[in-house]
A and B are shown apart, each in its own frame.
Chain A
């Protein structure tokens, strides 16, 4: 496995591939089972958003290392419609899926770091990282 790779999300089944790579990299990095499942779920949400709202995009994976910690950085990139009101979307309970906890606020909870860049008409890039718990 290379420390950096990506998958293209275009069909619904691409979401499965995106999850799988995330899980495998997480495992290799030494994340425990619970965190592996959390990372896979976060990637699943991001990939599903690409599939649903942007039609096409990529999920990039990168192993990140600093002096004293190691983690997995996931970047979801698309050139879709973008998100108009980020603060609204990041509000708990906004997700159109209805249930509690889902959507982008859920991704933020599942991971340790979360950043979103989006411009209406140009696309969305969401960068999120989780660190291995030592």
Chain B
């Protein structure tokens, strides 16, 4: 660092002399370049003040004492800034390291929790799930049973980030271990509730929906655990109805029970599942009303399910100035024939 400074002293002195004589912009531009090189080389503010003192002493040996003292005073005033700068530098390095760790974790989450939209007879599926930060606290998972039925899990961890993501992996692997087709949706939630209650700290809660669609009967069976209601769009009547069952969020009571309901779908009927990131997204402090979401869906109802969810997401993304405050997940099941 001393070498850098000595080399710079001559250059700085020259520039300073030029500037004092002519007050030209060129010298100012050059000192701007120099200042950037100081930062690159971790030269601290007090050292720059010292450089200035030395340059002035050499250029004007008989400069006023009062000026000389004032410069020493300024140097002293810079010491704490120098310390703050060093700490800032260190914290920045740590932050870069953390960020890269988190992005590795996020990629792992994608691989661990990845799920593909299955092809189900007569059912058009649309999905959008976008995390507000790197790690998604919303989770959805599709399963296809042997007889062509669809299993759909949607969960939202209250409490976000890495702990939420870890919790999701646990849920996924539990679901994977169930003999899915033979289980009722409420029994699946009851079993997951026990897993969560036993394994997750009591300050973390999970809301969840488990649904199964049976294409042969065109019937959707579902159970809710404290989750946002879903909406059923009746194409013939052109109306929306809330779809819900009573039930506690997962992880509160060891023996919570859940109930199951069912719904028969006709052609062009839709079921819309959401997480609270949709209804809690805000437009300048105003909560978005679910009606606004449903109006949009109604407007786009003739489109394929994927186009509907994409357009709804784009609309809300724009409303929030392209910075999501919460993870946003919306899944639409649309009966085709």
| Chain A contacts to B: CB under 8 angstroms | 32-34, 37-38, 40-41, 92-93, 99-102, 105-106, 109-110, 133
Bound CA–CA A110/B81 (angstroms): 12
Q: By the criterion CB–CB under 8 Å, are A133 and B50 in contact?
A: no
Given A33-B72, A34-B75, A133-B2, CB of A92 within 8 Å of CB of B91: yes
Q: Is the interface of B mostly helix, strand, loop or mixed?
A: helix
Q: Which residue of A lies closest to B49 (CB)?
A: A34
Residues of B within 8 A of A109 (CB): 83, 86
Q: By the criterion CB–CB under 8 Å, are A33 and B80 in contact?
A: no
Q: By the criterion CB–CB under 8 Å, are B75 and A37 in contact?
A: yes
Q: By the criterion CB–CB under 8 Å, are B87 and A110 in contact?
A: no
Residues of B within 8 A of A101 (CB): 80, 82-88
A-B CB contact pairs (8 Å), 5 listed: A32-B50, A38-B79, A92-B87, A92-B90, A100-B88
* Number of A-B residue pairs at CB separation under 8 A: 50
| 9 more CB-based (< 8 A) A-B contacts, given A41-B79, A100-B87, A106-B87 | A33-B75, A34-B47, A38-B46, A40-B76, A101-B83, A101-B84, A102-B80, A109-B86, A110-B83
Q: Which residue of A lies closest to B5 (CB)?
A: A34
Q: By the criterion CB–CB under 8 Å, are B50 and A34 in contact?
A: yes
Given A33-B75, A37-B76, A92-B91, CB of A106 within 8 Å of CB of B50: no
Q: Is the interface of A mostly helix, strand, loop or mixed?
A: helix
Q: By the criterion CB–CB under 8 Å, are A37 and B83 in contact?
A: no
Q: Which residue of A lies closest to B54 (CB)?
A: A33
Residues of A within 8 A of B91 (CB): 92-93, 100
Interface residues on B, range: 10 to 19
B16-74, CB < 8 A from A: 46-47, 50, 53, 72
Q: By the criterion CB–CB under 8 Å, are B84 and A99 in contact?
A: yes
Bound CA–CA A4/B69 (angstroms): 29
Residues of A within 8 A of B84 (CB): 99-102
Bound CA–CA A33/B90 (angstroms): 25
Q: By the criterion CB–CB under 8 Å, are A37 and B79 in contact?
A: yes
Q: Which residue of B lies closest to A107 (CB)?
A: B83
Q: Which 3 A-B pairs have the closest CB atoms?
A: A101-B83, A101-B84, A100-B84
Bound CA–CA A100/B86 (angstroms): 9
Q: Which residue of B lies closest to A99 (CB)?
A: B84
Q: Which residue of A lies closest to B48 (CB)?
A: A34
Bound CA–CA A16/B137 (angstroms): 54
Residues of B within 8 A of A41 (CB): 79-80
Q: Which residue of B lies closest to A133 (CB)?
A: B2
Bound CA–CA A33/B53 (angstroms): 10
Q: By the criterion CB–CB under 8 Å, are B72 and A100 in contact?
A: no
Q: By the criterion CB–CB under 8 Å, are B87 and A93 in contact?
A: yes
Residues of B within 8 A of A99 (CB): 80, 84
Residue from A33, A40, A133 whose CB has the most chain B CB atoms within 10 Å: A33
Residues of B within 8 A of A93 (CB): 87, 91
Q: Which residue of A lies closest to B78 (CB)?
A: A37
Residues of A within 8 A of B80 (CB): 41, 99, 101-102, 106
Bound CA–CA A124/B50 (angstroms): 34
Residues of B within 8 A of A92 (CB): 87, 90-91
Bound CA–CA A4/B82 (angstroms): 30
Bound CA–CA A92/B87 (angstroms): 7
Residues of A within 8 A of B83 (CB): 100-102, 106, 109-110
B279 to chain A, nearest CB (A): 37
